[in-house]
């Protein structure tokens, strides 16, 4: 299997920042428990508190695809247009080093 690495960037509207942070933080524990999740790390931009970043490593693309269908994502997905200042940005990376 080929591991998959992504960086997801989510930018909140200033008025929905705290709500979005709570919804995003709620994804960490259940996502880390999913089969194929190697790591799932949640960050806030040090200079822009409305910008949140996820660094994720998955065992395979099929594991990432399964994650995107998980029911624990629906409270977030169902409100995404109302909460975000811009569309979610997902960068797919190719890991060149060995995974730690």
Q: Delimit the domains of the chain by residue range.
A: 4-93
Does the pLDDT at position 1 exceed 90? no
Predicted structure pTM score? 0.93
What CATH fold (topology level) applies to the domain 4-93? Alpha-Beta Plaits (3.30.70)
Cβ distance 68 to 19 under 8 Å? no
pLDDT at 7: 98
**Alpha-carbon distance values, 54 to 1, 33, 90 (Å):** 22, 16, 9
Q: Region 24-47: what's the mean pLDDT?
A: 97
Give Cβ neighbours of residue 64 (< 8 Å, ≥ 6 apart).
Answer: 4, 6, 36, 56, 58
């Amino acid at each position: 299997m080929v591991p998959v690495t992504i960086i997801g960037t989510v930018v909140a509207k200033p008025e929905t920042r705290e709500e979005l942070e709570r919804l995003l933080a709620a994804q960490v524990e259940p996502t880390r428990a999913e089969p194929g999740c190697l790591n799932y790390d949640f960050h806030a931009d040090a200079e822009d508190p409305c910008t949140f970043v996820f660094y994720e490593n998955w065992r395979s693309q099929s594991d990432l695809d399964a994650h995107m269908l998980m029911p624990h994502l629906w409270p977030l997905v169902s409100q995404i247009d109302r909460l975000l200042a811009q569309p979610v940005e997902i960068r797919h990376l190719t890991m060149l080093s060995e995974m730690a």
